Structure 1
Amino acid sequence: MTLKNFLPVFLFFGIGLSVQAQKLSVISQKETTRLISTLSADDMQGRATFTPGIEKAADFIQQEFRKTGLKPLADNSNPKDFRQTFKLYRLTPGIPQLEADGEHFQAEALFFNTSYQQLNWTNNNARIIVSIGEEQDFREAFSKLNKLEEDALVLVHPVHQKLFEAYRHHFQGVGARQETNAGSSKVFVLTDKAAFASYSFSVTNQVEQLPLFNVAGMIEGKRKDEIVVFSGHYDHIGILAPVAGDSIANGADDDASGTTAMMMLARYFAKQPKPERTLVFVAFTAEEIGGFGSRHFSEQLNPDQIVAMFNIEMVGKPSKFGPNTAYLTGFDKSDLGSLLQKRLTGTPYALHPDPYPEQNLFYRSDNATLARLGVPAHTVSSVQIDQDKTYHTVHDEVELLHMEHLTNMIRAIALAAQGVVNGQDTPSRIDKTLVR
């Protein structure tokens, strides 16, 4: 190409990049900081499910959706109501009591997983006694035992005490159930015994049916029945035991960062011409206690009409790949990641496959529900999960995040998603038979 021909092309690309930069200026670091600082502030009380803190967070997200000019999803009868409300049972665990072979076990040596308001067990043939021995992998054994369809008393060797205590901390917190007094129950006991000749176990739990709500809005596209979802979960884990006087798990990175990204993307796409495909923006509830918000959401839409899902989680810190980079979970399960990589070619940003396959991140966020239905649903993240020390602690605060990186990640997603949004890119469906 001669210089004479090259110069207009060079100018064309220069103008194109300038125009794109102007469009991306909607995604400002100032506004990004405002949103995430509000969501992760102490007065949100850690945004635990069923608390006033998450109610306050929902109100804030709804206000931002109104200001952006989104429309509520069609299942909302109130044109100003972005809440997608459903009901769950809140189960507050009682104090368990166990007597076995003449020994009284303290509550600290027990935890249980049940949907029943009351358990009153004595040794009989109605349930089995199994053990997790010294040489077994606790996580693997727990997973298998928890899937059993029969009641079980599980005796855990003390060598697993550290993991036992971590699991106990999780199960002694408030839980949620879609139904109560159904299914099997499991009781776990920390003991060096491999069997009990006799035992008596009892617990009485508090059960209440309460409302929960996703917050969801949309920009209707020219192709109304082709949907692109942008999401993040806005709940976190609430109040923990105090550390140096701080008891609020603010959840700045997990996942105020993803929720902020979703809201900023809504603002960005609302400023663009009408999209080819319909865009849905949703803040999920109850991710931390079982993904109930994304489950409800998946039942409100036809999954065959959802072209792609961009779930966003923990993007407030730089990734292991360096500045302006993130990764996509389940990269090999559809070609969405490859399509996004192509869109980012020539930009300052890059997207990589998930470098932590052993962490099962694809199944640990709200994308998994729709992925199981065949939707190319993946999570964009940048957290170095194997090294992060603030995850699920009181130290996950906005002051420890990299705001420039977060802002750039939102811009990267906006650029990468353009082809899917404008109808030029259509990712392959996920093979439902390969998703566990």
Structure 2
Amino acid sequence: MRTMLATLLTLSATVAPAALNAQSVAPPQIPVETLKTVTKTLSSDEYGGRAPGTEGAEKTIAYITKRFQEAGLKPGNHGKWTQDVPLVEITAQDVQPLTFTGGKQPLSFDYRNDMVVATYRVTPKINLENSDVVFVGYGINAPERGWNDYAGVDVKGKTVVILVNDPDWQQSDLKGTFNGREMTYYGRWTYKYEEAARQGAAAAIIVHQTEPAAYGWNVVQSSWTGPQLEQDTPGDHMDQSKAIGWIQLDAAKQLFASAGKDFAALSAAAGKKGFHAVPLGVEASTSFVNTIRRQASKNVVGILPGTKRPDEVVLYSAHWDHLGHCDPVDGDDICNGAADNASGIAGLVALAEANAEAGATARSQVFLAVTAEESGLLGSKYYAENPVYPLAKTVGGVNMDVLNLIGPTKDFVITGIGKSELEDLVKPLVAAQNRVIKPESHPEAGHYYRSDHFSFAKLGVPMLSAGSGIDLVDGGTAAGKKAEDDYTANRYHQPSDEYDPNWNWQGAVQDLQIYYQLGRELADSDRWPNWYQGTEFRAVRDKSRAAVQ
């Protein structure tokens, strides 16, 4: 995005910041025992997987509050430790098969095995009956990129079938209408459901493919079944599609074949500009009932008040929630979430301890543990939309989602690189550790849009999402890739994401030292890092900063 008024740019534009002196803030002693203890505690079975609205969640909130207080923080929400986050829990039950009629043969796909289906609507029953099916390619409407998969087709009341990721995700480079291999927000499933709803679709079904989705069907099963959380807002989300969900690739191929279409050929066509949506000539049906429970979860907020400009804040964030109980593996149905993200909360506590020990800075430092990240970044979204500290006076910060638990690396990866001036500030800190900055190994996964920094970024606040790459000091990229692939395949969103006493915390310590130095330098300076010119978040930051200058 770009600003419309030159005067606005003049008011808020900043000179690109000079590189930080890596020695101006000495690397702290990160308390490794804190990292171990917090991670082990929060990921124990006693906490039940930390799903919001459960007994385990209440224990989690109490534990984080206790650790913040012991670290030396003050209550961060006008004298309170927590911020209420209104949520509504929707649990689909008696889910009927997703059927397709009118093709060469009737098809029926079973819940969980072949498809998953849910709803954002807060209503006791969903009934999708004989809904015309339309293949809308990647389901993108991006006028600024000259792309509209919905052009010339009316999908009101119909079921749209959508491909995951962006049209050019299979490119090897980062050049293309949608940044090539690097996923844009248009590639995220959240966007695809949002756009389908804007187009009036009754249902939106994404075809699951492991590589462009960046996770297997097992992750869809564990994440999309059981209780689902959404922000509790007026209107009960009745402007959303009746049903949203995923379908297995093999099932999608059967659907297209029954409709007399070639899935591979249409998928290839959908990747080219000028693609037109294709009615499949079949009708979709399913139904399910919902159990609805309204509740309030909590963000935990601690602060180290600033000494000179306490109204200006530097923000550290991490999410405390995980999936709770999930699909059992060998009789274990607790998704403990040790790496994801008990480790991130451990990092948050360790940074609070290190900063409190070092003493107050000119600006305030806020430590925010958010809820419901796994349900769509709901806790951070609520805070960003209802900030305790105005976003126009939030300098920037760091979000932590899964620390490095496999050992020190030679590289440091910035997620969504090329977006903000925080990258210039962090370069000398990385160099001081004799490490190099590298691009993401899997830019097609869209990690920039998958964690809580995005809630702040889209409202203008520069937030760093970065950490160790896969070039391990001991074993190189081969060992790092093996560990990364093993985590994705065998632990991510599964009961096996459990605490391991043999983890190597030295890589996490290195990353946390960088986060500390960056945050502390910002907190003791008068810098206002911005987004680079031409990036999608620059205009909103310029506007918010202009309003307070």
Fold conserved between structures, TM > 0.5: yes
Give the alignment of 1:8-407 within 5 angstroms: 20=26, 24-25=28-29, 27-75=30-78, 79=79, 81-98=80-97, 101=101, 105-108=109-112, 109-116=114-121, 117=123, 118-123=125-130, 127-131=157-161, 146=193, 147-149=195-197, 150-153=200-203, 166-178=219-231, 179=233, 180-182=236-238, 183-186=240-243, 190=251, 192=255, 193-194=258-259, 195=280, 200-221=285-306, 222-298=308-384, 299-300=386-387, 301-318=389-406, 323=409, 325-347=411-433, 352-382=438-468, 384=470, 385=484, 388-389=487-488, 390-399=491-500, 401-407=503-509
Question: What CA distance in whole angstroms lies between the structure 2 residues aligned with 1:290 and 1:362?
Answer: 13
Q: Identify which range, 81-90 or 172-181, moves more after superposition.
A: 172-181
1:202 maps to a residue whose letter is: S
**Identity score, percent:** 26
The answer for unaligned runs of 5 or more in structure 1 is: 1-15
Deviations 1:221-263 (A, max 9, x none): 1212221001111111222222233332221211111111111
Question: What CA distance in whole angstroms lies between the structure 1 residues aligned with 2:411 and 2:46?
Answer: 32
SS of residue matched to 2:66: helix
Question: What CA distance in whole angstroms lies between the structure 2 residues aligned with 1:269 and 1:140?
Answer: 38
Deviations 1:67-97 (A, max 9, x none): 122112244xxx3x41111211111111222
> Which gives a bigger RCO, structure 1 or 2 (Cα 8 Å, sep 6+)?
2
Contact 1:253/1:401 (<8 A) preserved: no
Shift in Å, 1:152: 3.5
Distance 1:348 1:318, change over 3 A: farther
The answer for unaligned runs of 5 or more in structure 2 is: 1-21, 133-155, 170-185, 260-279, 471-483, 539-549
Deviations 1:208-232 (A, max 9, x none): 1101111111011121222100111
Question: What CA distance in whole angstroms lies between the structure 1 residues aligned with 2:208 and 2:508?
Answer: 42
Contact 1:314/1:383 (<8 A) preserved: no
Contact 1:313/1:380 (<8 A) preserved: no
Distance 1:398 1:274, change over 3 A: same
Deviations 1:335-385 (A, max 9, x none): 212212223443466655544322211111100011112211121333655
Q: Identify which range, 252-261 or 175-184, moves more after superposition.
A: 175-184
Distance 1:271 1:254, change over 3 A: same
Give the alignment of 1:416-431 within 5 angstroms: 416-423=518-525, 425-429=527-531
Shift in Å, 1:334: 0.9
The corresponding residue for 1:7 is: none
Contact 2:371/2:380 (<8 A) preserved: yes
Question: What CA distance in whole angstroms lies between the structure 1 residues aligned with 2:496 and 2:224?
Answer: 22
Question: What CA distance in whole angstroms lies between the structure 1 residues aligned with 2:415 and 2:188?
Answer: 25
Contact 1:318/1:382 (<8 A) preserved: no
Distance 1:72 1:432, change over 3 A: farther
Distance 1:152 1:347, change over 3 A: same
